[in-house]
Amino acid sequence: MDRRRGYTVAELLVVVLIIGVLAAVGVPRLQFGLRDRSQGSVTAWKIVTDLRRTRSLAILHAATNPQGFALNVRRQGKNTTYDLVDLSNSRVVESHAIDSSVVCEGGASFQFGPLGALKDGSDSSLELSLGPSTFELTVVPATGTVRCVEN
């Protein structure tokens, strides 16, 4: 007796139907807000790191570049990018894009002088939000210290 054993189409349909019902019940229970908060946090801390890097570049090159360095935010519709700029020759050192799902409001130019402090006329705060999460980035003008607070 050479009988092949296998599954019938009806059995396969029942299994697929059960998996579909489980998926339909399980997917709405996933916490997508957690993903948004995580992405917002990653973006905020990336900008904090680049603000600190801009300040460090200004201090590092103080002897040869008294103009300093800047982090300039550019908004074009829903797209936001920012550049690290050498103020002595306006050369872009590095450029980054912010994910279009992250809303970026506030300051547009953070200029650090050779001692690491913000230059006069520079912005000192930036706000990022994604879903219910909001991150406020502030730079202390006198010292150039960068802080990030989640609201």
7-44 pLDDT tens trace: 889 999 999 999 999 888 777 666 555 555 577 788 99
Closest alpha carbon to 133 in 108, 115, 111, 150 = 150
The CA distance from 69 to 86, in Å, is 5
Sign of CA dihedral 105, 36, 48, 96: negative
* 18 falls within a domain: no
Tell me, yes or no, whether 80 lies in a domain.
Answer: yes
Q: What is the pTM of this model?
A: 0.76
Which pLDDT does position 102 carry in this prediction? 87
* pLDDT score of 5: 79
DSSP 123: -
Domains identified in the chain, total number: 1
Look at residue 128 and tell me if it is in a domain.
Answer: yes
- 124 within some domain: yes
Q: What CATH number is attached to the domain comprising 38? A: 3.55.40.10
Q: Is residue 11 domain-resident?
A: no
User: At 50, phi and psi to the nearest 5?
Assistant: -70, -30
Q: Does 5 reside within a domain?
A: no
In-domain check, residue 83: yes
Which of helix, strand or coil describes residue 96? strand
- Measured CA to CA, the distance from residue 42 to residue 28 in angstroms comes to 24
Tokens for 61, please give them: 């090159």
Question: Quick check: is 38 in a domain?
Answer: yes
Per residue in 84-123, pLDDT (tens digit) is 999 999 999 999 999 888 889 999 999 999 999 999 999 9
Residue range(s) defining the domain that contains residue 126: 32-150
100 vs 72: CA distance, rounded Å: 17
Instruction: Give pLDDT, residue 118.
Output: 96
pLDDT band at 82 (very low <50, low <70, confident <90, very high): very high
Cβ neighbors of 29 (< 8 A, separation 6 or more) are none
Is the pLDDT at 144 greater than 80? The verdict is yes
Mean pLDDT of 39-52: 91
